């Protein structure tokens, strides 16, 4: 059955990459929760998409003299002072930036898996090994993915027990050789056609397409035979998958 992946949690409804979004994804029928991981100045693994903190927190108010507010310039203790929820809604005021371990612990209480995206591993020393260790220590089913295919190969060589995914659309001619170490190939949903999905499958890998919140696009991807769809609205994908929204 198609895997329903909640993008940054159920981020249409709760602030992205927070425990609130993770819990909302579980409640809205996600099979897997995707989130982004960066490393702080003191080595903590935290859920943040952007390289800087100003879009999704109140860092400008709390640390007005620390521009450009890069995640890597702050300690974990400093990040804990930030409000990561109010930008989305006052309902989420006081929501904190979680660690990777905290997110995996929430998922471990359910049967929902994790799709962990490494952000900028080439410029964040130690993040690849640290993430591999964290997902290996957790009972949560996890796949680690990145646009940095070199970093993913290094991760697989160092930790062959960790499942890895490549973001993007590698050339079809490369797929058989990638299958020696890659578990998933995860392209943008507009870059997917039936031939590409079939070639990924023929090479023994899965194909998860990202990111759409449109029922019509979800149905198209299902017809193409992808293994998973990444969406901000897992409840919508759940209904589409069940065939309850054929009119949209």
Q: Which of the residues are catalytic?
A: 7, 49
Using CA atoms, how far apart are residues 76 and 8, in angstroms rounded to an integer?
A: 20
Give the DSSP letter of residue 52: B
DSSP letters, 140-173, are S-EEEEES-HHHHHHHHHH-TTSEEEEES---GG
Give the DSSP letter of residue 189: G
Residue matched to tokens 């203790």: 77
**Peptide bond preceding 68: is omega within 30 degrees of 0, i.e. cis?**
yes
Contact 47, 97 (CB under 8 A): yes
What is the SS3 assignment for 121? helix
Residue matched to tokens 């929204």: 245
């Amino acid at each position: 059955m198609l895997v329903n992946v909640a993008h940054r949690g159920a981020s249409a409804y709760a602030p992205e990459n927070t425990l609130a979004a993770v819990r909302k994804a579980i409640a809205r029928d996600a099979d897997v929760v995707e989130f982004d991981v960066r490393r702080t100045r003191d080595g903590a693994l935290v859920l943040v998409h952007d390289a800087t903190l100003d879009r999704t927190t109140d860092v400008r108010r709390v640390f007005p003299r620390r521009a450009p507010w890069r995640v890597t310039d702050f300690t974990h203790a400093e990040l804990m002072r930030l409000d990561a929820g109010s930008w989305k809604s006052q309902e989420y005021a006081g929501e904190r930036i979680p660690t990777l371990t905290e997110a995996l612990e929430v998922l471990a209480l359910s049967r929902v898996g994790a799709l962990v995206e490494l952000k900028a591993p080439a410029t964040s020393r130690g993040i690849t090994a640290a993430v591999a260790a964290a997902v290996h220590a957790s009972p949560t089913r996890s796949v680690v993915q990145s646009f940095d295919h070199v970093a993913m190969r290094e991760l697989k060589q160092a930790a062959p027990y960790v499942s890895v995914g490549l973001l993007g659309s590698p050339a079809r001619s490369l797929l058989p050789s990638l299958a020696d170490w890659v578990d998933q190939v995860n392209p943008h949903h507009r870059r997917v056609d039936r031939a590409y999905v079939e070639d990924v499958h023929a090479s023994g890998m899965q194909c998860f397409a990202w990111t759409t919140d449109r029922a019509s696009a979800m149905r198209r991807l299902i017809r193409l035979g992808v293994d998973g769809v990444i969406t901000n609205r897992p409840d919508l994908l759940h209904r589409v998958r069940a065939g309850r929204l054929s009119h949209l």
